[in-house]
Chains A and B, each alone.
Chain A
Amino acid sequence: MADASTKRVPEDQPDDSSANGTGSLEELRHLILAPEQQALERLHHRVANPEARTEDVSSVVAEAIQLRRKQGGSDALSEALAPTIETAVRESVRKDPATLADALFPVMGPAIRRSILETLRSFLDSFNQIMDQSLSVQGLKWRLEALRTGRTFTEVVLLHSLVFRVEQVFLIHKKTGLSLGHAVAPSVAMQDPSLVSGMLSAIQDFVRDSFNSAPGEGIERLNVGDLDVWVEAGPYAILACVIRGIAPRALRDTMAEVLENIHREYSAQLDRFTGDTAPVSAVNKELSGCLEYKYKEGPKRKSHSYVWAAAGLLLLLVGGFFGWRWWQYHRWNNLVDTLREQPGLVITSFGREHGRFSIRGLRDPLAPDPRQFVENAGLDPVKAEFHWGAYYALDDAILQQRANQLLAPPQGVTLNVQDGILQLAGQPSAAWLKDLRARALLVPGLRSVNFGRFSPEQRAFDQTKSEVQSVIIKFPVATAALSSAERSDLRSLVPKLTSLQNSSSALNQNLHLEVVGHSDATGAEGTNQSLSQRRAERVAWELIQLGIPDSALHAKGVASAEPVRSEDTEENRQFNRSVTFVVNASPAPQP
């Protein structure tokens, strides 16, 4: 190709007749090679021109990166791009930090949250364990030990409750003593892993040198107090585990396995290692596999039972206390309900005050003693505190008591109160009944007195009634004619009847006067019947004449059926030839 380009013939070269043979050859060559030459020209132009090259690369760069990733060479690609990307990011932040901050914002939140969550979780795990230990007798012993030895309580708990724990894992490059990777258990205080790696490797060398060991030999185990350092060496790297407690033999196998895995995966990188850990950065994940631990099981379970027992007892005590309080409160509530039912007591409020049960309300002086109810309910009267205001109750029961107290009824007289009205029963003396109405109305709460048959009107009515019923109008034998004396008796009867009439209407009663005609037992029964009827009618007629209303009178003859006196003498027989009166009062129909 280079030959063709250097020997190319310019198209504008003039034809020379003296070199005609050569010229024909040139022409032939031109004819044959010209298209290829032109193509080469174009290619050369493209290769020499950076702009064109850029254009070419730009059209395939994305595909090229994708292809490389598919081929599995992404590590080298990342390595190649990393510095540029780092610089670009740094430059971007320098120019305007907001751009990158905005782009990272959706990622930062979840990442920070996750990190905080992880930290909290690991904190809570150890906190829970320490709480468990703290509540047990064992825990108290350990706390004393922590005080005595000056260690922190967490340290003492770990010492006692751990069988073993791998606290740190170092992967050290054998040749340089540089740190290749490091893993650490949560909440372990640690020194700079690169320094520790260096020093561990130096000590290895020191021991090997000092005791003229063979090249493959070295320290396998270091023991310092509670700490054990187990060392496992491979061709390129050394694995060292810092262990607290007594680790099982199986941990050695784990270490060997991890070291083998690392050598298998990274042997080339480890061989070429010159201090750059980026190609082996993934080993830390492998190293975490060595962070084993085991807790003692015995004391933990025991401490749990203590915790449960203590919690149960506490719950029982608290439950018992509140249960007892509720029961007491319930009993006091029942007492209040009972008191509410008592006449003369009004409960306005109740509740606990200064450890005592306080009840406030109004109390009639005649109401039952509330303290008696406290004792009956089986409650301690000392715990009860009453605050009563005085008042007059209007309950019938209290009114009845009050009336008895103030009216002092004589022996044989009973007082009842219904709906605020005083009712009398028994045989009250006229002297006591005198002015009773006025005295009764001085009893607070009494609305009125129902005297019933003890009212003055009733007594006057009864008096007149018995007077009227004792009147006997006598007739001569076998006649219904009235003598002048008898007529005069009838006239004197009229005021009494008028008085009865007035009394009954005052008592709201209708008055009926039965005029009963009698005959003696001598003579024929039929004659006697007619004679007694006529005698009654005669007297009724006479009374009507004297102004007694017809409607109030009823005349009837009973012949000798209802004799006034037994006819053992003529004088007594005289009484049976007569007319007598029966007074009846019936309740007047309500208007």
Chain B
Amino acid sequence: MIQKKICMLGSFAVGKTSLVRRFVESIYSETYLTTVGVKIDKKVVRHNDSDISLLLWDLYGEDEFQKMRWTYMRGAHGYLLVADGTRRNTLEKAFQLGQRVREEVGEIPFIFVINKADLIQDWELDPAMESQLTARNWTILRSSAKTGENVDEAFSQLTRKMLP
């Protein structure tokens, strides 16, 4: 059995937990997030005819009250960087987090997910930001935890990146 540790990173209330909830069945309550700062769930996906266990470490989003615990990132095989399309500052925060990951654990596979695609009319994506994203040459997906759009796809793409 192959297992991979995946972290969910992003600002507070960008929808990381909702994406995970959309994706898995869980045994731990979400109160762990606010107490221990992490909640772990599991999802088995198929890749190249074998089962892969994804251990999803849903990390508490950084806000003014609590810092993210970077030790939880240790040993991660990949991560989802999540931002909220309706809040421009969450994208900027995501850029910072991405930079921090590179410093802490090095270059590991990730997918940049801009969530809340169901509210696309309220998105605060100006041309400057879009050009900045294009320049970074990242894999970017627009997702919606509400409709399920690109949720499975995000995890599948990440799995493919981790297991070439």
Query: Which residues of A come within 8 Å of B, CB atoms?
Result: 83, 86-87, 90, 173, 175-179, 191-192, 194-195, 198-199, 202-203, 205-206, 208-209, 274-278
Contacts and interface: CB of A to CB of B under 8 A. Distances in A.
Contacts of A199: 28, 32, 40
Given A86-B49, A194-B42, A209-B69, A177 B1 contact: no
A178 B3 contact: yes
B36 A274 contact: no
Contacts of A90: 49
A191 to B, nearest CB: 6
6 contacts: A175-B75, A192-B27, A194-B53, A209-B71, A275-B2, A275-B5
Interface string B58-73: 0000000000010110
Contacts of B40: 195, 198-199, 202
A86 B76 CA distance: 28
Contacts of A175: 74-75
Contacts of B74: 175-176, 205
Nearest to A200: B40
Contacts of B69: 205-206, 209
Nearest to A276: B2
A275 B40 CA distance: 16
Contact of A277 (B2, B75, B77): B2
B112 interface: no
- Among A86, A192, A198, chain B packs the most CB atoms within 10 A around the CB of A198
Contact of A178 (B5, B36, B37): B5
- Among B5, B42, B50, B57, chain A packs the most CB atoms within 10 A around the CB of B5
A180 to B, nearest CB: 9
Contacts of B76: 176
A277 B53 CA distance: 11
Given A90-B49, A195-B55, A203 B2 contact: no
B5 to A, nearest CB: 5
B54 to A, nearest CB: 10
A187 B57 CA distance: 30
A79 to B, nearest CB: 12
B118 interface: no
Given A195-B42, A206-B36, A87 B49 contact: yes
Contacts of A208: 71
Contact of A179 (B3, B27, B41, B75): B3
Contact of B75 (A173, A195, A209, A276): A173
B77 A275 contact: yes
A274 B77 contact: yes
B113 interface: no
A205 B55 contact: no
Contacts of B49: 83, 86-87, 90
B4 interface: yes
B154 interface: no
A206 B42 CA distance: 20
A209 B74 CA distance: 13
B145 interface: no
A178 to B, nearest CB: 5
The 4 closest A-B pairs by CB, nearest first: A176-B75, A175-B75, A198-B40, A205-B71
B158 interface: no
A179 B40 CA distance: 13
A178 B36 CA distance: 18
Contacts of A195: 27-28, 40-42, 55
Nearest to B71: A205
B38 interface: yes
Given A87-B49, A202-B40, A202-B57, A177 B28 contact: no
Given A90-B49, A202-B36, A177 B75 contact: yes
